[in-house]
Amino acid sequence: MSGNKRHLLGQHFLTSDLIAKSIVNLAAIKKSDVVLEVGTGRGILIPYLCNKAKSVISVEKDSGLYMDAKRKFSNVQNLILEHGDAFEMDMDFTVFVSNLPYSESRNAMEWLVQRTFSHGIIMVQKEFAQKLLAEKGKGRRAISVLASYCMEITKLMDVKKTNFQPQPKVDSVVLYLEPKQRVSEDIIMAVNNLFSFRRKTVRNVARQFGLTVDSDKRLEDLSDGEIIDIAKKI
């Protein structure tokens, strides 16, 4: 895949070994952990991950990058390289690690809230981190509700855009994820459907789905639990 095509996919490769090392240290990986890395990229995290974990499964969509990684890391005993879309695979892992391209960030979170794992560390663009961390108010989206209902999310550090190649337009943020509970795909779809009417009052939104909810609030002013309860009724 050409550099231009990768640019379109929103793939920006981390170039700082110092930051790569910090991310892996912050991931608090134990010798008994199975780490799932989504997006092998150029493999900057692999040596550090493999050094700490029992085993590492690294999944890459791009066939060129996958083949490069196969050549580069052929002698690493506790590494399994997979080619394909991780979010269409079913794997057992304890720690999730990813530098997520913007185009995949929401997809990744929707996949993660359905999984059982110990914890995760992700690097996302600042704008997406703001969505995940948005509390009540206009900045909230369906993904904000799903993420904060299912996970404890802690911001760990900012990463300047100058640490990537090609350089993105915005800075990135490293977040720590600790699962609290899981939701089903049906709930995810229902929450996304609810937010397609986000400008309306809860009473009017509920009516779209044949439900009666006596409230003049807007969706973004309800708690995560209240929104999930309405989603369950749908």
Residue-level pLDDT at 138: 75
Structure tokens at 162: 């100058």
The candidate with the shortest Cα–Cα distance to 88, out of 70, 69, 127, 114, is: 114
Cα Rg, the chain, nearest whole Å: 19
Residue-level pLDDT at 137: 74
Residue-level pLDDT at 139: 77
Per-residue pLDDT for 97 more than 80? yes
- State the amino acid at position 138 in one-letter form: K
Specify whether 128 is located in the same domain as 40: yes
Average pLDDT of the residues in 184-192? 96
Entry pTM: 0.92
Specify whether 119 is located in the same domain as 223: no
What would the pLDDT profile of 30-58 be if each residue is shown by its tens digit? 999 999 999 999 999 999 999 999 999 99
What would the pLDDT profile of 138-178 be if each residue is shown by its tens digit? 778 999 999 999 999 999 999 999 999 999 999 999 999 99
Classify residue 75 by its DSSP letter: T
The candidate with the shortest Cα–Cα distance to 80, out of 92, 6, 169, is: 92
Half-sphere exposure in the Cβ direction for 88 (13 Å, CA): 6
Residue-level pLDDT at 176: 98
Tell which of 159, 182, 205 closes a domain. Answer: 182
Per-residue pLDDT for 122 more than 70? yes
Specify whether 130 is located in the same domain as 82: yes
Specify whether 110 is located in the same domain as 221: no
Residue-level pLDDT at 2: 43
Taking each helix axis as running N to C, give the angle between helix 185-195 and helix 142-150, from 0 to 180 degrees, rounded to the nearest 10: 140
Specify whether 121 is located in the same domain as 214: no
Structure-token match 């699962």, residue found: 179
3 state DSSP class of 95: strand
What would the pLDDT profile of 46-91 be if each residue is shown by its tens digit? 999 999 999 999 999 999 999 999 999 999 999 999 999 999 999 9
Q: What's the CATH code of the domain at 84?
A: 3.40.50.150
Residue-level pLDDT at 174: 98
Q: What is the mean pLDDT of the chain?
A: 92
Q: Based on the structure, what is the number of domains in the chain?
A: 2
Cα–Cα distance between 118 and 223 in angstroms, integer? 25
Q: Which residues constitute the domain of residue 224? A: 187-233
Specify whether 209 is located in the same domain as 115: no
pLDDT bucket at 10, cuts 50 / 70 / 90 = low
Please answer whether residues 29 and 52 qualify as being in contact, where contact means their C-beta atoms are separated by less than 8 angstroms: yes
Specify whether 150 is located in the same domain as 222: no
Specify whether 154 is located in the same domain as 215: no
Per-residue pLDDT for 230 more than 70? yes
Specify whether 158 is located in the same domain as 196: no
Cα–Cα distance between 39 and 78 in angstroms, integer? 17
Residue-level pLDDT at 80: 98
Specify whether 25 is located in the same domain as 105: yes
Cα–Cα distance between 62 and 104 in angstroms, integer? 13
